[in-house]
């Protein structure tokens, strides 16, 4: 029996490929026919069609509204004849995950939320962190499939717990990328070579996931092609702020970081790569973070 996969974007395509490489038959759907062609697996005509053909359906989709429609809309997974288990790999926040869980449960479909961390390269190499919440027995059944994608971590059976974990992860990733961008721009303005700065940070106590990975890969070479859209980071920061405010916890730092991400999306465009967040800092300082020729 094939596994269904919906959403073959930056993350979904390499994840679906990993499943094919691990020997699974895949039936896939994406609204973009090019993405379907790139995978080369049998294509379905709608999320419902996927769920007519597979008992387990995975999805990697851009935002909560799309996830809700794909899972529970009129041509959604919920209408499928064969589906028993729906696994959402997207970042949608706790309330949407809980809503999907509740609506699918009314049709005896089990929902697991399983947001991921590790970026496109982690998806390609099968080393993602997969944060999973849902019934333990379903997680145990699914683990061999998830092992092809990375390291599954079980967060508990409360729907949406894994989403909370993912938002905690991403607010920290959002913080350190803007913090590193702001500080490196300051150093460049003072005359330092950014390539040397990144080497020093990575050897010292200022190292972050941004200095270790995002700067060498996409900022110093000026390619801005890490594979995560600025608009997706804005979505994640907003979801974090919504959940944190609902809990009544302090969000002083996250609000400031959120304003910087909102400004980056406004000036660079929501579809820009999220490493472009450094450009407003560069423009304000009148410098470019480009390594000196050696």
Which residues of this chain interact with ligand NAD, rule CB under 6 A? 6-12, 29-32, 35, 60-62, 66, 69-70, 90-91, 116-117, 119-120, 227-228, 232
Q: Answer whether 285's CB lies under 8 Å from 243's CB.
A: no
Query: Considering the complex, what minimum distance in angstroms separates the CB of residue 201 from ligand NAD?
Result: 22
What is each CA distance from 5 to 103, 217, 222, 250, in whole angstroms?
20, 29, 33, 38
CB atoms within 10 A of CB 191: 7
What is each CA distance from 48 to 34, 101, 138, in whole angstroms?
20, 17, 21
* Closer Cβ to ligand NAD, 140 or 269, answer by number: 269
Query: Considering the complex, what minimum distance in angstroms separates the CB of residue 30 from ligand NAD?
Result: 4
Which is the catalytic residue, given 166, 214, 235, 279? 166
* Closer Cβ to ligand NAD, 58 or 198, answer by number: 58
Tokens standing for residue 83: 């589906």
* Closer Cβ to ligand NAD, 228 or 261, answer by number: 228
Query: Considering the complex, what minimum distance in angstroms separates the CB of residue 190 from ligand NAD?
Result: 32
Q: Answer whether 26's CB lies under 8 Å from 12's CB.
A: no
Query: Considering the complex, what minimum distance in angstroms separates the CB of residue 70 from ligand NAD?
Result: 5
* Closer Cβ to ligand NAD, 72 or 91, answer by number: 91
Tokens standing for residue 123: 């998806």
CB-based closest residue to ligand NAD: 9
Q: Is 279 an active-site residue?
A: no
Closest listed residue to residue 177, CA positions, set 130, 129, 232: 232
Using CA atoms, how far apart are residues 263 and 265, in angstroms rounded to an integer? 5
Using CA atoms, how far apart are residues 49 and 53, in angstroms rounded to an integer? 6
Please identify every residue annotated as catalytic. 166
């Amino acid at each position: 029996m094939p596994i269904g996969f919906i959403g073959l974007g930056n993350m979904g395509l390499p994840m679906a490929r990993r499943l094919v490489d691990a020997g699974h038959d895949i039936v896939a759907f994406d609204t973009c026919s090019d993405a379907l062609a790139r995978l080369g697996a049998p294509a379905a005509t709608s999320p419902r069609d996927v769920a007519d053909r597979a008992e387990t359906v995975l999805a990697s989709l851009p935002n909560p509204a799309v996830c809700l429609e794909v899972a529970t809309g009129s041509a959604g997974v919920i209408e499928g004849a064969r589906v028993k288990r729906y696994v959402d790999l997207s970042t949608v926040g706790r309330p949407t995950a809980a809503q999907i869980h509740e609506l699918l449960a009314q049709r005896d479909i089990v929902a697991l939320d399983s947001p991921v961390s590790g970026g496109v390269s982690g998806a390609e190499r099968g080393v993602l962190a997969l944060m999973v919440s849902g019934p333990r027995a379903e997680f145990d059944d699914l683990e061999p499939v998830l092992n092809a994608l990375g390291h599954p971590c079980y967060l508990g059976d409360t729907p949406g717990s894994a989403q909370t974990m993912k938002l905690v992860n991403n607010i920290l990733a959002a913080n350190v990328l803007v913090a590193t961008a702001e500080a490196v721009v300051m150093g460049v303005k003072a005359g330092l070579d950014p390539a040397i700065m990144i080497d020093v940070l990575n050897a010292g106590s200022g190292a972050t996931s941004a200095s270790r990975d995002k700067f060498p890969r996409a900022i110093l070479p000026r390619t801005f092609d890490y594979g995560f859209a600025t608009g997706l980071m804005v979505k994640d920061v907003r979801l974090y702020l919504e959940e944190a405010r609902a809990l009544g916890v302090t969000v002083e730092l996250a609000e400031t970081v959120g304003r910087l991400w909102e400004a980056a999306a406004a000036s660079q465009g929501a579809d820009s790569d999220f490493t472009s967040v450094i450009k407003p800092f560069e423009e304000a300082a009148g410098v470019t973070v480009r390594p000196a020729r050696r």
